[in-house]
Structure 1
């Protein structure tokens, strides 16, 4: 049988056609716009996602035996607020995961409601990107529109809703709303009351690998597929990427260098971070995970290359950064172009270049951008360190992981072995695996991941370079606290 895996990303939707043995038969990507109405705001039109997903499925399945397609599974950008009225109309552009407008609402939740209360109810504290602060912002700033809300969904759940007619979500994605009691896998009535949310607005909860339904007759007709095609609940993009890299079970790590950057650590049991620097979420394999998220990762390099240098020659720009330069530059970059989440939880944080001198070169800044993201990843790894949690190696995925130089920098900054998997499609491949499990091709997510995910190569740290980067990291970690008072003034 064949399976469609979807990655509903921030800049594009990527779709894979995968057979039961995990072989990728075809890949399609279709972009859509993102709007930044104000500094620190980020929005998208859910109808753009739907239009390009449908077009992508048609392109993906063109020429194949459509009768062989058994299931669809999606990973999607997390936290985005999609609000519909009673007639199924989108009420406003979706407020995205990297939107920082709800800073005041986040402070209210963390300080007035209280971090201890939030952690007790959900396992997490509030971050501006989470869905609950956005709902409070909507109630306070667009009350007439808030009064028309009939359904609340996350981005990939809007697609699933349109495919099946089922108002659904999965536990991994729901964990990032701050409305879920993560440990007990149920909506928190206390948090719904705090955020003035009616439970009937919220989707039904499923495990990521469960089938939520089948294609509606109308959608099946539009796609040219059987109405019996099953749709899996899917997962948040990071949980789906973890499935796609085999980061399931307990004590495994995956680093994603996409638009955002994440450190994802799978756990067999629920265990929130005592310092609340990391998120304690449900995993797509039915267990749990800890995750740190930096809001700008590969997007920092894209900004530097395309917006500042006006260049698309990523390899050429990185070529002067030779191995002997690693850990030796005196230029530092803070990657907070959209504020920051883990571990600082500061929407007002901004990017910075520090240490420039008359002899600083274009290559120095290119190197600093790559290193700044790597240092941000280390910040999250340091927050995760605990006596019962030893991380010595990690899988790596995302667009940034296609750069050999960047992988070498990350391996040495983190002093970890990085395992590169054969299939680097992350969330879309994880979505296809979840679809295969939902259709009974495999008995569990772990069984599927163990059979399908293969390590292609390993990047090992060099002791001397890692030591140089360790010294530089001690300087890097002092820069943000020194600049923090300027954040809101800027």
Structure 2
């Protein structure tokens, strides 16, 4: 049998055809636009996601017997607001995870409602990317549209709705709305009331591997699939990627170096960071996880190369950076191009090069970008360590993980081995594994991940380089606090 895994990303939707042994037989990708209608805003048209499915899946299935495709799983970008009317039509463009317009609403939630109240009801505090502040923004700025909301979905849930007709979500994705009681896995009545919402406007809650429904007959015909094909609830992209890197069960860690950067620590027990610098979310394996998320990770390197240097040859820019230069140099980079979430929660933060001199080279600045992202990921790792968590190694995935230089930098900045997997397909592969569990090929997510996911290679930290990066990280930590007041002042201009 075959299974389809869908990775609904920020810049493209990727489709994977996976056989019962976990081998990826074919992949197809479809791009779509990202809109920035005002500074700090980030939106997409949900119809573009569905159009990508309608063309991508048939291409994925060319030459495949539709009866051999048992199930579909979707992993997708988290936190985005998709608002539907009573006809199932999209009311406005989706407001995405990296949208920063909700600073006033976040301030009201964290300081007027109060962080302690939010944490008690949801295990988290408000961040600009979360869904609840977006709904408050919509209520205040688009009241007529807000009044017409019939259902609220997250991005991957919109695809599930188009596939099955069901309004559904899973616990991992719902955790990032600030509307879920994460510990008890139920919608928080208190938070819904604060956001002027009713529970019937929310999608039904499921474990990630649970069946939502089968394909609608018209959709099955259009896609070239059997109407008996099952669709599971799926997962938020980070939870799905964690499944695809065997970050399941207790005490496992995975780092994703994608458009955003995340550090993901799985647990069989519910726990909360008392300072709420890390997110406390449900996991796609039925447990929970702590997660730190930075808004700009590999996208920092893309910005530097594409927009500033005018090249798409990233490897060529990294080639002059030899091993002896790592951990040395006086140039630093704050990677806050979209503001920042974990652990500083500052929508006013911005990207900064620090320490430029007349002898600074292009390679120095490229190295600073790669190191700055690694240092920012370590900021979240240090929060986890402060909770007494022992993290001896981690998986690594995402587009940035394809760079040998960046893997080396990150391993030595963190001081731990980093494993990359034989199948580097991120959320789409985890989504396919969830579909396998949904269809009965495995009993549990953990069993499936352990059977199917294999380590391809490991980068080991080097003691001398770890020491150099330790010294440089301690200097990096001083830059943001020195700039914080200035960021807030300049944001008022």
Q: Common fold, TM-score beyond 0.5?
A: yes
- The match for 1:127 is 127
Please tell me the root mean square deviation across aligned C-alpha atoms, in Å.
0.7
- The match for 1:234 is 234
Query: Aligned equivalents of 1:423 and 1:227: distance in 2?
Result: 29
Query: Aligned equivalents of 1:387 and 1:144: distance in 2?
Result: 45
Please report the TM-score for the alignment, with normalisation by the length of structure 1. 0.99
- The match for 1:266 is 266
Query: Aligned equivalents of 2:162 and 2:387: distance in 1?
Result: 45
- Listed one character per residue, the Cα deviations across residues 128-168 of structure 1 (whole Å, up to 9, x for unaligned) are 10000000000001111111111100000000000000000
Query: Aligned equivalents of 1:380 and 1:187: distance in 2?
Result: 27
- Listed one character per residue, the Cα deviations across residues 2-51 of structure 1 (whole Å, up to 9, x for unaligned) are 00000000000011000011000001111100011122110000000110
- The match for 2:10 is 10
Secondary structure class of the residue paired with 2:38: coil
- The match for 1:421 is 421
- The match for 2:205 is 205
- Listed one character per residue, the Cα deviations across residues 418-466 of structure 1 (whole Å, up to 9, x for unaligned) are 0111011110000000000000000100000000000111101111111
Secondary structure class of the residue paired with 1:385: helix
Query: Aligned equivalents of 2:172 and 2:329: distance in 1?
Result: 39
* Residues 50-449 of structure 1 mapped to structure 2, 5 A cutoff: 50-386=50-386, 388-449=388-449
Deviation at 1:275, TM superposition (A): 1.0
Q: Contact 2:273–2:387 at 8 Å: present in 1 too?
A: no
> Once superposed, which parts of structure 1, at least 4 consecutive aligned residues long, lie more than 4 Å away?
none
Query: Aligned equivalents of 2:126 and 2:183: distance in 1?
Result: 17
Deviation at 1:489, TM superposition (A): 2.9
Query: Aligned equivalents of 2:449 and 2:74: distance in 1?
Result: 16
Query: Aligned equivalents of 1:54 and 1:436: distance in 2?
Result: 22
Secondary structure class of the residue paired with 2:259: coil
Deviation at 1:488, TM superposition (A): 2.9
- The match for 1:41 is 41
Deviates further, 355-364 or 30-39: 30-39
Secondary structure class of the residue paired with 2:307: helix
Query: Aligned equivalents of 1:54 and 1:74: distance in 2?
Result: 14
- The match for 1:473 is 473
Secondary structure class of the residue paired with 2:429: helix
Structure 1: segments with no counterpart, 5+ residues: none
Query: Aligned equivalents of 1:179 and 1:189: distance in 2?
Result: 8
Secondary structure class of the residue paired with 2:191: helix
Query: Aligned equivalents of 1:53 and 1:112: distance in 2?
Result: 42
Deviation at 1:387, TM superposition (A): 5.6
Query: Aligned equivalents of 1:251 and 1:420: distance in 2?
Result: 18
- Listed one character per residue, the Cα deviations across residues 280-309 of structure 1 (whole Å, up to 9, x for unaligned) are 000000000000000000000000011111
Instruction: Tell me the number of residue pairs that the alignment of Structure 1 and Structure 2 aligns.
Output: 490
Q: Contact 2:3–2:19 at 8 Å: present in 1 too?
A: yes
